[in-house]
Structure 1
């Protein structure tokens, strides 16, 4: 999607969730059992699985999606909106709600796709400035640092730190400015046709990944190297 790309690409900008890091297995029963214990709750594995199922069913429902509008504009908005949705899913009490939320926003719970770190490293080694632009309500930098990829990034632009979220063109423009490249020379890589595809409104060529994804298989990021190098 977007304009053809080739030798003119000077920088690459990536989405985070579903593009570089897997978003399908963040809520994990053993992790929730541990988090609940830190809140003083004794939660068994089967109970944790049930809590996760009920939470995902509610937050991913049409009503849940609608209620999440604006959740990425600040860390406080993210916490307020998500904890309300999590609590409604049970309904769950404040301790269990906090345990689920802490798992959702734990950088250690987010795993990179197998090709994420190698591709970021290859771009860095080739001297291509790389950035990440994410609609998110918490700091994702520790997730990159944990896997040794933070040094591959020139900039990380988070909606919660700027009060504006994709598809607003202003966020794409800011990221390009921080990369030091004109939008027409920045390849944007994402997975959402609406929010990520909006980069074309600022003039960025866009490469969209398929919606189907699995944490254990490469995401198809090697194609970025063919487009950018």
Structure 2
């Protein structure tokens, strides 16, 4: 089956969330008069991963996963944990404000999108982040108008790796799962989730820390053109 579309994850794939989150954490801690140590940064990202997974699995809402992250980290800073309204304000005016100032894209994205366009393939984004924020990220990093539809977990009512999320993006594009390639940085959520829904998938392993047994792997999006040619040798002639 010929390839018809490439669907991208956003955070960690097109948008450099790890760098922006690290910068946001440092900026927030500076505003509190605190130093960002390696231990604090590790604790922040561990809390993010743990509680974002809980939201993804439907165990809490999006605002609550943010509050839970603060409940884990504020005691490490020797700061009191307030009520929900106080935590919402701290996250919004503290970390989130500093995070937004550091939004950036990866420098290999433009070349990858050019390769997809040259191959005559449609594009879309499927992301687990909230719609308003994720669309704002796309605009902020200069990708507005360069991508197809953006589907988010909150709008769909299901999050990756639920097969229904991947089915929804194929339906939106009008493509069969088998002619749709998903590109993402989280192996379990993006790659295995896409394959479980019948899509093709490639792991964007920027850090080289992914499963060694994974054969479909890119170290950079600059390698996407070669991967597309291998997936569908006739793509560039469309």
Range of TM-score over shorter length: 0.7 to 0.9
1:113 corresponds to? 106
Deviations 1:116-146 (A, max 9, x none): 1232244235542111111113531122222
> Secondary structure at the residue paired with 2:145?
helix
| TM-score w.r.t. length of structure 1 | 0.74
Which 5+ residue runs of structure 1 have no aligned equivalent? 1-6, 37-41
Q: Whose helix proportion is higher, 1 or 2? A: 2
**Within the alignment, does 1:179 sit opposite 2:173 as a pair?**
yes
Other-structure match for 2:153: 159
Call closer, same or farther: CA 1:87–1:30 in 2, change over 3 Å: closer
User: Residue 182 of structure 2: SS of its match in structure 1?
Assistant: strand
Give the alignment partner of residue 54 of structure 2, picking from 67, 70, 81.
70
- Whether the 8 Å CA contact 1:87–1:97 is kept in 2: the answer is no
Give CA-to-partner distance per residue, 1:188-209, whole Å, 9 cap, x none.
1112221112211222111112
Q: Which residue of 2 aligns with 1:90?
A: 74
Question: TM-score if structure 2 supplies the norm length?
Answer: 0.72
Out of 21, 36, 51, the position equivalent to 1:49 is: 36
Report the Cα distance in structure 2 between the residues aligned to 1:87 and 1:97, rounded to whole angstroms.
11
Q: Helix, strand or coil for the counterpart of 1:88?
A: helix
**Aligned-residue CA RMSD (Å):** 3.2
The alpha-carbon distance between structure 1 residues 121 and 211, as it changes in their structure 2 partners (threshold 3 A), is: closer
For CA contacts below 8 A with separation 6 or more, give which structure has more relative contact order. Answer: 1
Matched, 1:201 2:196: yes
